Amino acid sequence: MRLDKYLAETAQCTRSEAKAMLSKGRVQVNGAVCKKGDTQLKESDTVAVDGKVLCYQQFVYLMLNKPEGVVSASTDKRDTTVVDLVGDAYPRRQLFPAGRLDKTSTGFVLLTDDGTFAHDILAPKRHVAKTYTVTLDTPLTDEMKAGFAAGVTLADGTALSPAEVTALTDDGLTVRVVLKQGVYHQIKRMFGVYGAGVNGLHRDAIGGLALDENLAPGQWRELSDDEVAEITRG
């Protein structure tokens, strides 16, 4: 890989900014100042800017706590998107949400530029679970529990895979739902079959990885390699 491209991807800067760093002698390759952007790097080479060693990331994986009113998209002409919340932190990355939450829903959204990984965790055959806390306008019933466990058939005839639902409060108005399938407005439509409305929906976890409780709505952070692996274990 060319040095200027490596700088752009690891230092999250534009090619012109990388060129400026090189010309000012701020870049070192294996401890020696290098000013040539077309220098071809070997896998064993160490690159530093102002003495700080850079680490190459092939892909980026971010945990975002989506607030209400933000849409799960990369771009939108009217509304703020989950990618907008990341700002200019990754100017060279084509980030997108791996799985969607409705505009009014909140919680864990995974942002990445790894299309293969996103496809794998969203594919029904991979059975990666998503866990939600749901607030209902009607108490959870035994009929709902049995229907979810057997697999709900939606009003349009779509037959869904089995899902889990358990009460979190004594009044049955706050429940936990675990899905291994993704269908448009799925949870709202599932409860709608039983005449129950959804007043609130929050995604708590994807696979075996729970949303970091220290992330306030709208905040995000990078995931470690171990955390990315946890997603596929759930």
pLDDT tens sequence across 114-155: 999 999 898 877 779 999 999 999 999 999 999 999 999 999
pTM of the full predicted structure? 0.84
Roughly what angle, to the nearest 10 degrees, separates helices 3-10 and 15-23? 110
Task: Give the Cα separation of 168 and 215 in Å (integer).
Answer: 22
pLDDT tens sequence across 26-43: 999 999 999 999 999 998
177 contacts 152 by C-beta, under 8 angstroms: no
State the catalytic residue, choosing from 45, 76, 84, 102.
102
Cβ within 8 Å of residue 168, ≥6 positions away: 133, 174, 175, 176
What is the structure's pLDDT at 234?
63
- Domains belonging to the chain, first-starting first, are 3-53 (3.10.290.10), 61-124+211-231 (3.30.70.580), 129-206 (3.30.70.1560)
What is the structure's pLDDT at 47?
94
User: How far is Cα of residue 125 from the mean position of the Cα atoms in its chain?
Assistant: 19
112 contacts 96 by C-beta, under 8 angstroms: yes
Say whether 226 is catalytic.
Answer: no
Place of tokens 């274990």: 233
What is the structure's pLDDT at 163?
96
pLDDT in single tens digits along all 234 residues of the chain: 899 988 988 877 888 889 999 999 999 999 999 999 999 999 899 999 999 998 888 899 999 999 999 999 999 999 999 999 999 888 778 999 998 999 999 999 999 999 999 998 988 777 799 999 999 999 999 999 999 999 999 999 999 999 999 999 999 999 999 999 888 899 999 999 999 999 999 999 999 999 999 999 999 999 999 999 999 886
What is the structure's pLDDT at 62?
98
75 contacts 171 by C-beta, under 8 angstroms: no
How does 86-97 read in b/e, with b if 16+ C-beta sit within 10 Å?
A: beeebebbebbb
Residue 27: strand pairing partners: 49
Nearest to 107 by CA among 80, 84, 134: 134
User: How many CB atoms sit inside 10 A of residue 62's CB?
Assistant: 23
